[in-house]
Amino acid sequence: MPRPDQKQAFKARVHHWAERLDVKVAWLGIRPMHNKWASCSTNGHLNFNAELLALDPQLWDYVIVHELLHFFVPNHGRLWKSLMRAHLGDYEAAEVRLKEAAARGIPPGAGRV
């Protein structure tokens, strides 16, 4: 069970990145998700898997920026990859670590964002 301070820290991190990327977040939720780390909708709703709270905050940034960039780029093509690199540098290393966490069952069955 995540601690309330972890949840607040995570939400603060989402708002930090949203401001930096100029994304208006209409709704932010942290809840159990069985098949992915996060999701977003075109109307500004963001959902993050509660299991993220147990992971390294650098991995938080990867998932947060990944989702926020989808407000501008709906796929994982060249532009999206360039933006990820511009904001996070070697984002691929975080991607590998996140996949390793998923393989360990954090969260069960989640290997994708």
For 30-88, what is each residue's pLDDT tens digit?
999 988 899 999 899 999 999 999 999 999 999 999 999 999 999 999 999 999 999 99
Domain ranges of the chain: 4-103
**Three-state DSSP class for residue 96:** helix
Q: Which two tokens stand for residue 41?
A: 């909708």
| C-alpha span between 69 and 83 (Å, rounded) | 8
| C-alpha span between 98 and 77 (Å, rounded) | 19
Give the residue carrying structure tokens 């691929």: 92
- Which pTM does this prediction carry? 0.90
| C-alpha span between 35 and 24 (Å, rounded) | 25
CATH fold label, 4-103: Zincin-like (3.30.2010)
